[in-house]
Amino acid sequence: MALVDARGGLKNPQFKVLKNIVSSQIAVHRPFGGVVPNLAKREHIKNLPKVLGQLTANNLKLKTSIDLIAVTVGPGLEPALWTGIEYAKQLSKELKKPLIGANHMEGHLYSNWLPRTVIASRAKQSLKQQSKIVSPLSHVKEVRNDKILFPAIALVVSGGHTILLKMDSLIKWKNLGETLDDAAGEAFDKVARMLKLPYPGGPEIQKLAKKGNPKAIKFPRPMLKSDDYNFSFSGLKTSVLYYLRDNPLVASRQSLSADVAASFQQAVLDVLVGKTMRAARSYGAKSVLLCGGVSANLALREELKLKTNNLGASFFVPDFEYNTDNAAMIAVAAYIQYLRKKKLKLEANSNLSL
């Protein structure tokens, strides 16, 4: 749940996150190796009132100063979506404030319009700023709101989606391609399970991959050379499965499984980065945007940033806090919907996409 200050029109919307609380259910679902829908619903019912209390510090004045309430209507697990929608409807009635439905994937896309924190190196600071620094190694955190220029290519990579978009403006885009089978995050989660790593697998693979050699095993780069912008990760996942079946010692030896993690991660990155950069070149992109849970992957962020900058375009990725699911991005998507006077039905829609 989040409290976001949103202002400005569609030409230059401005956002400030006042509070962003993520009530993680990872520990609840971890023993089952993935999200269990009914457990998710139960946890939502239990947590929503608690988190609202934390968000507003039970301050009635703050609660009544809210202008607009936003809720995710999809895509996602229906029982969880319905719980959120019913709760938001009740809150909207209680506070007598309008309620707006938001698309989870638009939330990921628009997470790049949240201000971001950059670590400014000393060299880039003014002399006046430098004189205030005590340690020669210290860095300064700066909040930046750099404007995203169009056309932009956006890579949206989460647990359920892998989509490549060409954006001509904040509200006008074309879907260039998407995954034909598993999403990138899903592939990370499934390969992690094969390596007996806990859920969610993405961060675990990233951690293990750091200790391995990304060139150790030649896993396939599915559809890298195809002349469309679609993706496919199911064959890569199967290659890892066969490799582990043919090399039974791997799963029990960390040095060997680190090579599998690093080689698998590199195969996913090569395809994601390769296709995104081909789109950026073809469409003369001024910006490349990365978002969705997998955008928390450091190697992916760094590689895409480097290649984007080599092309002379600007690279954007949200702060880590806003990569994986969060409510601040939903507030941004809802505000943009509100500016567009576009209304989504206040009903769970698990199939909603971009």
Q: Helix 201-209 vs helix 298-310: angle between axes, to the nearest 10 degrees?
A: 70
The site for ligand KG4 (CB under 6 A) is made up of 158-160, 185-186, 188-189, 200-203, 206, 292-294, 296-297, 324-325
Strand partners, 154: 165, 289
Q: How far is the CB of 234 from Zn ion (least distance, A)?
A: 20
Q: Which is nearer to ligand KG4, 48 or 269 (CB)?
A: 269
Between CA 266 and CA 72 the distance in angstroms is 33
Q: Please, what is the minimum distance in Å from the beta carbon of residue 107 to Zn ion? A: 7
Give the C-alpha distances (Å, rounded to integers) separating 62 from 53, 56, 87: 11, 6, 18
92 binds, among ligand KG4, Zn ion, none (CB under 5 to 8 A by kind): none
Compare residues 201 and 222 and give the one whose CB is closer to ligand KG4: 201
Tell me if 326 contacts Zn ion by CB under 5 A.
no
> The tokens of 282 are what?
């073809």
Backbone angles phi, psi at 32, to 5 degrees: -95, 0
C-alpha–C-alpha distance, residues 244 and 240, integer Å = 6
Which residue's CB is nearer to ligand KG4, number 142 or number 181? Answer: 181
Give the residue, chosen from 43, 186, 204, 325, that forms a contact with Zn ion under the rule CB under 5 A. Answer: 325
* 62 class by beta-carbon count within 10 Å (0-12 exposed, 13-18 middle, 19+ buried): middle
Q: Which does 206 bind (CB under 5 to 8 A by kind): Zn ion, ligand KG4, none?
A: ligand KG4
Q: Does 158 bind Zn ion (CB under 5 A)?
A: yes
The listed partner (Zn ion, ligand KG4, none) that binds 194, CB under 5 to 8 Å by sort, is none
Among the listed ranges 126-134, 194-202, 207-215, 317-325, the one in contact with Zn ion (CB under 5 A) is 317-325
- Is 189 an interacting residue with respect to Zn ion (CB under 5 A)? no
Those residues whose C-beta lies under 8 Å from the C-beta of residue 161, and which sit 6 or more positions away, are 75, 105, 178, 179, 183, 292, 353, 354
Q: Which residue, 111 or 314, has its beta carbon nearer to Zn ion?
A: 111
Stretch that binds Zn ion, among 4-12, 83-91, 252-260, 318-326 (CB under 5 A): 318-326
How far are the Cα atoms of 28, 89, 169, 287 from residue 344, in angstroms, in the given order? Answer: 31, 14, 21, 29
* Residue whose CB is less far from Zn ion, 158 or 337: 158
DSSP 343: -
In the complex, the residues that contact Zn ion under the rule CB under 5 A are 158, 325
